[in-house]
Amino acid sequence: MAETAGMRRQSSSIQNNPAAVPPRILTEKDVLQNRTTSYTLTQFITSTTEGDQQMALLMNAVQHACKVCANAIKKAGPCDLYGLAGSANSTGDDVKKLDIIANTVWVDCMKSSGVCCLLVSEEEEEPIVIEDADKRGPFAVAFDPLDGSSNVDCNVSVGSIFSVYRRQSPDDGPATVKDILRPGSECIAAGYSMFGAATELVITYGAGVFRFALDPSIGEFVFVEEMKMPKSGGKKIFSCNEGNAHSWDKPIQDFVTECKQAGYSARYVGSMVSDVHRTLLYGGVFLYPADKKSKKGKLRVLYEGFPMAMITEQAGGVASTGMYLGKIGRVLDVMPEQIHDRCPIIMGGARDVERVLNLYKNAD
């Protein structure tokens, strides 16, 4: 093929500016090598559960539930799965068709793992106790099967969130609700999946936070990175529902006003998974505080507050309740009174969370 003038100009530009060299196009061989050498979630689970076969079975059940949910969400439009199911869940929220599907998937996956003794779901009024001794194990698991489902019909990112406890009651009988009504500091594992432009799964066993992305061509989650919040506090971003601002405590109102005056950007999706995921990666702060309408806040402790707080702290951030029940404290120190209990949330980098807490202290 004859060299054109345009080709000569591009060649000359690249020679004079090495930074202008276009990226090499990946070949089929490159892609194949990446898929065969990637560190998969299955490998990660096997190598990090330290011979705990039951924990390995549980985490494999979690990743399976996430894959099935991702597939259902991807097909929601063509399969007529958008819209309301015509009922309300345990906390009074309208239930979507996908809420029911995701809940069924999570409950079935946890039960079939054979290592769970008690399940708590946002979509279930009462805890699910595994009665059969041959089909239960040492773990009590709380989960929100489809967080942010109010956004799912408009194709905004949603997700699943879970926390894991090891039962304390004698294992010669069924578990009791006391096995899961414990502070978040006693969680032994937590995580969330996010269904957006890509399907991701983020997990912690209490020693670091690890991010995986689903490669749909091989059906495996592959390792992306160990997540650590920027030590400097990261980007100046605040994330909250300002529609509730008139009901907030004055320190929260003052903090948001300061953010605007200091040139912070406002970013709020309305799906906790999405907002916290961005905060972990970019920095800033996510707030869903208590207010005059909701004295305990709106987010549920066991399957939203605790797992996200555990992940945030393990990534180097801070997770606080703000002023709650007369004192400032960690989210992970909250003692839930019932399985769908709520608590306020202020989580993100220390730079911003500490500023909120100082406003509370100075207000006293």
Per-residue pLDDT reduced to its tens digit, 63-84: 999 999 999 888 765 555 565 5
The reported pLDDT for the residue numbered 14 is: 39
CA 121 to chain centre: 15
Q: Tell me: pLDDT of 36 over 90.
A: no
The reported pLDDT for the residue numbered 154 is: 79
* Pick from 149, 153, 142: nearest CA to 88: 149
Contact assessment for residue 62 and residue 111, using Cβ atoms and an 8 Å cutoff = no
Mean per-residue pLDDT of the chain: 88
Contact assessment for residue 187 and residue 163, using Cβ atoms and an 8 Å cutoff = yes
Distance CA 130, CA 141 (A): 12
Residue with more model confidence, 218 or 143: 143
Helix/strand/coil for 346:
strand
Q: Which residues are catalytic?
A: 93, 99, 122-123, 144, 146-147, 304
Residue 2 confidence class, pLDDT cut points 50, 70, 90: very low
The reported pLDDT for the residue numbered 150 is: 80
Tokens of 41: 């979630």
Q: Tell me: pLDDT of 289 over 60.
A: yes
Beta sheet of 265-266, edge-to-edge order? 265-266, 237-239, 285-288, 345-348, 318-324, 327-330
Distance CA 323, CA 361 (A): 9
Tokens 């998937």 correspond to what residue? 105
> pTM of the predicted model, to two decimals?
0.87
Q: Tell me: pLDDT of 4 over 50.
A: no
Burial 319-333 (b: 16+ CB within 10 A, else e): bbbbbbeeeeeebbe
Q: Tell me: pLDDT of 168 over 50.
A: yes
Please count the other Cβ atoms lying within 10 Å of the Cβ belonging to residue 100. Answer: 17
The reported pLDDT for the residue numbered 6 is: 43
Q: Tell me: pLDDT of 164 over 50.
A: yes
Distance CA 178, CA 265 (A): 42
The reported pLDDT for the residue numbered 29 is: 61
Q: Tell me: pLDDT of 105 over 70.
A: yes
